[in-house]
Amino acid sequence: MAFGEWLRRHRRVREAREQLQGARAAFDSLGARAWVRRADSELLAAGDAAPPPQRISAGKFGLTPREAEIAWLAVSGLGNRGIGWQLGLTHRTVASHLSHVYVKVGVSSRRHLPSVLEP
């Protein structure tokens, strides 16, 4: 998993997908659901052809898949650090994505997201 993340961050996406898919399969066979979600998130960021089903309509607001994923996790009650842990991001990166989400959906804070987005 860590090597796949490193490869993706160094723009070696094809190699990263192979590593991440292997890690995801291993985590799935072990029943490690949180790690499977994290691997799915990394695969989505690496442009995997089969992203996990979106729980929020990204197209309606022009959200990227990553923004939609972060918005859904925020609506479900996780804080920035919790979202960051699940997705392998820093809490500051999560805050940056959320600020873009706020602008795109027309709200000023996390508190208003549930009323605008359909979980």
Q: Where are the domains of the chain?
A: 2-45, 58-116
Asked if the 58-116 domain carries CATH number 3.40.50.10330, the reply is no
**pTM (predicted TM-score):** 0.62
The predicted-structure confidence for 63-83, as pLDDT tens digits, reads as follows 888 888 889 889 888 899 989
Residue 111 exposure: Cα atoms within 13 Å on the Cβ side: 2
Instruction: Tell me the pLDDT tens digit for each residue of 7-25.
Output: 988 989 889 999 999 999 9
